[in-house]
Amino acid sequence: MNTPELPEWSRAVVKVGSALVAPDDQGCRTTHLLPIARFITESRRQGKEALLVSSGAVAAGLAEEGRSGPGTGLSIPERQALAALGQPLLMAHWRRLFDVSCAQVLLTYDDLQRRSRFVNAKNTIAELLDRGTLPIVNENDTVATEELQVGDNDNLAAYVAGVAEADLLVICSDVDGLYTADPHDDPDAEHLPEVEAITDEVYDMVGPSHRAVATGGMQTKVEAAEKATDRGIDTVLVNGTKGHHLDALGRGEMPGTLFRRAERPLSARKHWVLHALPTAGRIVVDQGAADALRHEGASLLPSGIVALEGRFARGDAVEVVRRGDGPARVAKGITQYGAADLERIQGRQSHAIAEVLGGAPADYVIHRDDLVLVEE
């Protein structure tokens, strides 16, 4: 396979993990960050814009307390306290590497999921870029517990790329890119310079058993690439421990793995439904309904529903699956009816809704505009 070139870009989100910020679990170091900072500075000099998504707050907090080690086995309150302690050090550390002002942006999953907060984050980031500053984003670990957490900065970086309307996501890791198998375990593992579409086959290559090469491991990097490419953002996985790889990227070469942006990206709304909203339950449909959704661009009607899973409410995001053996995910969408009401109208014609429920806010269950088809 020929090595692809880096597609033209004008605004990049660069994600840097703890393994690069604080190698050897010794707190913040500049070893790997200098080439990354050089890439950003050089890109800015060419009139391009960049944002950083940086991990390392917990690692910096640990070092501040004079402790070394990977920070595994910490309780959630401990991690949150250490992140609070380390975050200003992380910012100060990055600031030393740039001649421009660095702005701290701390986000939670909640901020990305709720429309009003999302818009605020978007406006602030746009303003920061307008002012020529370098926004540096991390998860707001102090307030983000389990259900409010994105959890890993790979996925956070993909969300940030969407919020910032970036056209490139660069994930700096400590491997040379995506391999057909774990190169540490399998001598036949082949490096993939380019991935056209993120299919189940790609996920199989990095299955959960894959060694965690950084905080999130390879799986979260592929998830992040899927989120970004679905939104029309080219995504690059590059080895941030190799300075010359970053320099090559700066020259428009492609030293790692390029995940090409989707040819037909999802609209902001559909992307939000598919990737930002939590899945509250499942609606099982018959083959006819599945075909109508997939091939005719139809809305989901109660008549095609055969079963329900979960106690979801009106306005929740649910998965639509086809009845049959094995998982057959058809779509994800926002339901106009909660599970309790749906139980009473499933299998019935739309005109019967009002009669059964004593009112019908909609004659469909999921409107086509609120429905995102997923690959089979």
Q: Looking at beta carbons only, is 223 or 341 nearer to ligand GLU?
A: 223
Q: Is 302 exposed, middle or buried (0-12, 13-18, 19+ CB in 10 A)?
A: buried
108 is a site residue for ligand GLU (CB under 6 A): no
55 is a site residue for ligand GLU (CB under 6 A): yes
Q: Are 366 and 277 in contact (CB under 8 A)?
A: no
334 is a site residue for ligand GLU (CB under 6 A): no
SS3 sequence, 11-39?
Answer: EEEEEECHHHHCHHHCCCCCCCHHHHHHH
Q: Up-side HSE of residue 126: CA atoms within 13 Å toward CB?
A: 9
* Residue carrying structure tokens 């070469």: 253
> What is the rounded distance in angstroms from the CA atom of residue 64 to the CA atom of residue 66?
5
241 is a site residue for ligand GLU (CB under 6 A): no
Task: Pick the piece of the chain touching ligand GLU (CB under 6 A) from 136-144, 194-202, 276-284, 346-354.
Answer: 136-144
Nearest distance from C-beta of residue 47 to ligand GLU, angstroms: 30
Total interface residues for ligand GLU by CB under 6 A: 14
Q: Looking at beta carbons only, is 141 or 176 nearer to ligand GLU?
A: 141
219 is a site residue for ligand GLU (CB under 6 A): no
Q: Which residues of 150-184 are buried (b: 16+ CB within 10 A; e: fewer)?
A: bebbbbbbbbbbbbbebbbbbbbbebbbbbbbbbe
Identify the residue among 43, 80, 108, 215 touching ligand GLU (CB under 6 A): 215
240 is a site residue for ligand GLU (CB under 6 A): no
φ, ψ (nearest 5 deg) of residue 207? -30, 165
Q: Looking at beta carbons only, is 138 or 239 nearer to ligand GLU?
A: 138
Q: And the tokens for 357?
A: 């429920």
Identify the residue among 53, 57, 178, 195 touching ligand GLU (CB under 6 A): 57
- Distance in angstroms between the alpha carbons of the first and the last residue of the chain: 27
152 is a site residue for ligand GLU (CB under 6 A): yes
Q: Which residue is nearest to ligand GLU (CB)?
A: 55
Q: Looking at beta carbons only, is 93 or 261 nearer to ligand GLU?
A: 93
Q: Looking at beta carbons only, is 162 or 333 nearer to ligand GLU?
A: 162
27 is a site residue for ligand GLU (CB under 6 A): no
Q: And the tokens for 186?
A: 């399998």
The residues of the shown chain that bind ligand GLU, judged by CB under 6 A, are 17-18, 55-58, 83, 138-139, 141, 152-153, 215-216
